Amino acid sequence: MKKSNIAFEPDKDKILTNYLDSASSIASKLESIINNDIYTNNVTDRGYLNTLIHFYKNDWQPARLYKRGGRYRGSIAKWYKKPNTLPIPGAVDNLSVLIPSLNFLSDTEGLNPEDSEVQMPFVIDNNESNTERDKTDHQSIEMIFSPASKKKKQIDITRNVHRAHNIAYQDTRLLKAPELGLLFDTLNKYGRSDKNIELAILGWLMFLLGKTLHEIENLQIFNKIDDKTRGLFLDENDRGWWYFPITQTAKPTIKKVGLIKTANGVFTACPTFLTDLIIKYLKGRKEGLLINVDNFAALESSLAKKLKKVSDRAYSGRLSINSISNFIGNYINATGVIDPIYIDFSYDVKMYSTRVSRSYSNIDDVTRCERLFEFWQEVESDYYDYCKEKFPIKLFELVCFDKRNRMLGSKFTPENMTVKSLIAALVLEVKNTKLNSLKQLDAILKYHNAFTVYTAWMLMFGTGYRAVWNPLPTFSLYFPTLNLMGISDKDDSDFTHSRLVCLPSILNAQITAYQEHLSCLRGLIRVLKPKLCQSIDDFLNAASKSLNLDYKESCQWFKLIRNSRINHGPLFIFQRQRAGIVTKGISPTELVLRLPKEHKIPANAGRHWLKSNLLYNNVNSELINFQMGHWQSGEVPLADYSTLNYIDSVNELLPILDKLFKGVGWQTLKSDLI
């Protein structure tokens, strides 16, 4: 209760009669106060009492949704909801990352709301609450509140997380060929026993699907295509297919024009040996829970004990529930053989590393199956190199469920024909506004607007720029000789997510052409717009001027201009108003409004297009994250101890980006003002 509420007297009303009172008795006394309308005439007081009741009863529940008047509807803060977390694969001490529960930002432009947040802002240590302390161990109060102790713990957790994000192939958390052989022999042995067949199926599901026991507990079995649910589908030939829905955070709220249509779910072939094992276990049952047991916790405990016993006998303690269920994620992290998005889409594996990037990924079903096949071929190759023998069983079969080759993932990715039509319309607009010999003011302004919009759209498609205000705030981070540009479209005060991106050759030449365009524009309008021309002078000379600033001055200057709605950068347009001609910065909405009606696409469509095409061209996931800015804590390319070589990265990305740009028809346009 508030300190100012002098009417509330816990001692007088005997709410707490003894410090040994149980929590339930205290909660019941508080409920009696509310029921008798004591101290609850004030709505705030009643809220405080309800908070105390929830605390003592420990019945945390999500708050109810309330419809509000006006244009916007939302929900009240969820005070009693447990934190939404996802595990960090490969991290010791049971660390999890906290995931935002609510979407606070608009997604009308195809932007994933979570993409505007730092990838891993907070980590929760679940090990503390689960660790039992010795009864004789009395912890020092001074140590609990010691700043040095807290700092050391923060450093330890940070190092642990960074290590988990940089697993090497030699890491002990990754199962090697000997452990895999031991695992296969153990599960095959369990599969031949009716007593342990459930343990065998459970082990195979964790290993092949990358799922936790809690997720496996809810998997279903079905044999009617219309009754699709998470689990195993058995067709008329008793062929097994895993089915999982594909959900997206960003929902399409605009009219779809030329966007790729995607399926809402995906079927993936289940290995024949596992299908036969499951059919044997089901004994004719074709619906209900896949593993139907009364006490799943006992089954989990039994599997954990047996795995430990097998590991101890083989002088290897690596076989465990965590090492098996995290094998796929750890192997991809260590080798980069495929992008983790293929595992995410195929088996609905909840990986926080893909929770944002999945919204920008659009892949076809055939490519997905081929990448899964490549993954298991790589695992089998490593196994053969060590054991000099092939896998005793086939872990994946390259078979597609649907011959139509459906598209999966992002609903905001434009078709290549849509992009070609868009480019043709933008080029036509520039040509239609070309100047005559008189170069009248209105014609100059109209041509500049068309030329700027064309350059801005090319920038969005070539760099993966997010849909933000004032893209390209300065030329001082543009390095034409290296085909690199600095971008800060999602960042914090420390510029943690600032990145350098590779520029396609056509875009690189277009930005240079735009600089020449601005240089000519200032000469034509300097008398009419001296302040604007002074700003253009600053834009073109920013590289040399920024060198004279110290670190603090540079940070303050850049924070003022990046994503600014007031201080526009080199990309601006002219508008006629009552006060005269004014300039306005580029915004996502403005970019869409400048398109013809038949070519309107989301402002963020270029980011979706680039990510999807990089996946299709089988670019290494590290380079995709480098270009898109989807790295995690400990993977920052610009960090002090980063080993990423920018020159090598550009040499690998540039040919692919050039091919993509030429394929859809982007071209460098020279300004007609010159």
What domains, with CATH codes, occur in the chain? 1-81 (no CATH), 177-409 (1.10.443), 416-664 (1.10.443)
Give, as one character, the DSSP assignment of residue 81: P
pTM of the entire predicted model: 0.80
What confidence tier does 544 reach under pLDDT thresholds 50, 70, 90? confident
pLDDT of residue 558: 82
The rounded distance, in Å, linking the Cα atoms of 110 and 414 is 11
- Across 49-63, 300-314, 445-459, the highest mean pLDDT is recorded for 445-459
pLDDT of residue 499: 87
Most distant CA atoms of the chain, gap in Å? 95
pLDDT of residue 255: 61
Q: What is the pLDDT of residues 218-249, one digit of tens each?
A: 999 999 998 899 999 999 999 999 999 998 76
The encoded tokens of residue 231 equal 């689990």
Q: Please determine, for residue 141, whether its predicted confidence score (pLDDT) is greater than 90.
A: no
Q: What is the pLDDT of residues 321-372, one digit of tens each?
A: 989 999 999 899 888 899 999 999 999 987 877 888 888 999 999 999 999 9
Q: Please determine, for residue 1, whether its predicted confidence score (pLDDT) is greater than 80.
A: no
Please enumerate in sequence order all residues whose Cβ is within 8 A of that of 659, keeping only pairs 6 or more positions apart, or say none. Answer: 617
Would the CA dihedral through 656, 107, 346, 89 be positive or negative? positive
How confident is the model over 1-23, as a mean pLDDT?
60
How confident is the model over 257-269, as a mean pLDDT?
91
Q: Please determine, for residue 176, whether its predicted confidence score (pLDDT) is greater than 80.
A: yes
Q: Residue 541 carries which side chain, given as an amino acid letter?
A: N
pLDDT of residue 223: 92
pLDDT of residue 105: 41
Q: Please determine, for residue 640, whether its predicted confidence score (pLDDT) is greater than 80.
A: no
CA–CA distances in Å: residue 287 to residues 222, 233, 337, 589: 5, 9, 36, 49
Helix (H, G, I), strand (E, B) or coil at 225: helix
User: Residue 147: what are its φ and ψ, rounded to 5°?
Assistant: -60, -35
Helix (H, G, I), strand (E, B) or coil at 264: coil
pLDDT of residue 70: 47
Q: What is the pLDDT of residues 556-590, one digit of tens each?
A: 878 888 878 888 889 999 998 888 889 999 999 99
∠ CA 565-532-547, nearest 5°, is: 80
pLDDT of residue 376: 95
Q: Please determine, for residue 374, whether its predicted confidence score (pLDDT) is greater than 90.
A: yes
The mean predicted confidence, pLDDT, of the chain is 83
How confident is the model over 522-547, as a mean pLDDT?
87
Q: Please determine, for residue 254, whether its predicted confidence score (pLDDT) is greater than 70.
A: no
Contact of 386 with 178, CB cutoff 8 Å: yes
Least confident of 107-121, 482-496, 606-620: 107-121
What confidence tier does 93 reach under pLDDT thresholds 50, 70, 90? low
pLDDT of residue 494: 67
How confident is the model over 147-176, as a mean pLDDT?
74
Q: Please determine, for residue 76, whether its predicted confidence score (pLDDT) is greater than 50.
A: no
Q: Please determine, for residue 103, whether its predicted confidence score (pLDDT) is greater than 50.
A: no
Q: What is the pLDDT of residues 390-418, one digit of tens each?
A: 888 899 999 999 888 899 999 999 999 99
Q: Please determine, for residue 216, whether its predicted confidence score (pLDDT) is greater than 70.
A: yes
How many C-beta atoms surround the C-beta of residue 448 within 10 A? 23
Please enumerate in sequence order all residues whose Cβ is within 8 A of that of 383, keeping only pairs 6 or more positions apart, or say none. Answer: 177, 180, 181, 390, 391
pLDDT of residue 53: 83
Instruction: Name the residue with higher pLDDT: 208 or 10.
Output: 208
The rounded distance, in Å, linking the Cα atoms of 490 and 469 is 11
First to last CA, the chain: 72
Instruction: Name the residue with higher pLDDT: 156 or 606.
Output: 606
User: Residue 402: what are its φ and ψ, rounded to 5°?
Assistant: -115, 130
How many C-beta atoms surround the C-beta of residue 176 within 10 A? 16
Instruction: Name the residue with higher pLDDT: 202 or 88.
Output: 202
How confident is the model over 184-198, as a mean pLDDT?
92
Q: What is the pLDDT of residues 497-513, one digit of tens each?
A: 788 999 999 999 999 99
Q: Please determine, for residue 128, whether its predicted confidence score (pLDDT) is greater than 60.
A: no
The rounded distance, in Å, linking the Cα atoms of 426 and 599 is 10
What confidence tier does 40 reach under pLDDT thresholds 50, 70, 90? low
pLDDT of residue 75: 43
The rounded distance, in Å, linking the Cα atoms of 461 and 603 is 10
